[in-house]
Structure 1
Amino acid sequence: MEATIRAILDEVGGLVRPAGSLSTRDDLFVAGLTSFATVGVMLAIEDEFDVAFPDSLLVRSTFVSIDALMAAITSVKGEAHAA
């Protein structure tokens, strides 16, 4: 999951340095992620992981780090299995 998220960030995140050079806790907004780019990241993640982010996760904190993105994906996948 982490490698896929890093690839998505490199492809559509518009970061100022490669996602591979960031720790999973680094602030992606400090690394160059814009609110506009988060839309592309979200759509790519939804497509790649076959998930749909609920409105409650469409907040800055969901996209602040690779760790936060992994937690959000895991959460959404868990909710899908519970439904």
Structure 2
Amino acid sequence: MTLDTGFLDLLRPFLKYVGDKPISADSSLHDLGLDSMRAIELLFAVEEEYGVAMPDELLTDSTFATASSLWATIASLRERTP
């Protein structure tokens, strides 16, 4: 899965340990510094940027585990949004 460059730019401020390192699809967001407070802030940013609403059942560790898992969730939600 190819990650959108804009998505990677959106992610970067929420990952306190990423620095200038590249973010790959398999990058662990937790290892890069995404904690629970930053995840909530990221959630709001994602919803605003992509015009989606993430339902409670998707607010899981697995959704926010990697860049690709979060991007796949966003892509799925965008397909459902008229």
TM-score between the two structures when normalised by the length of structure 1 = 0.83
| Counterpart for residue 57 of structure 1 | 58
Query: Does the alignment pair 1:43 with 2:36?
Result: no
How many residue pairs end up in the alignment?
A: 80
Query: Does the alignment pair 1:3 with 2:33?
Result: no
State the shift of 1:78 in Å.
2.0
Q: Where do 5+ consecutive residues of structure 2 fail to align?
A: none
Partners of 1:56 and 1:15 in 2: CA distance: 26
Question: Identity over the aligned pairs, expressed in percent?
Answer: 28
Partners of 1:18 and 1:9 in 2: CA distance: 12
* Compared CA separation, residues 52 and 20, structure 1 to 2 (3 A): farther
Query: Does the alignment pair 1:73 with 2:71?
Result: no
Asked whether the equivalents of residues 8 and 23 of structure 2 are also in contact (C-alpha less than 8 Å), the reply is no
| Counterpart for residue 22 of structure 1 | 23
State the shift of 1:39 in Å.
0.6
* Compared CA separation, residues 35 and 19, structure 1 to 2 (3 A): farther
State the shift of 1:19 in Å.
7.0
CA RMSD of aligned residues (A): 1.7
Give the letter aligned to residue 14 of structure 1. L
TM-score between the two structures when normalised by the length of structure 2 = 0.83
Asked whether the equivalents of residues 16 and 32 of structure 2 are also in contact (C-alpha less than 8 Å), the reply is yes
Higher helix share: 1
Q: Where do 5+ consecutive residues of structure 1 fail to align?
A: none
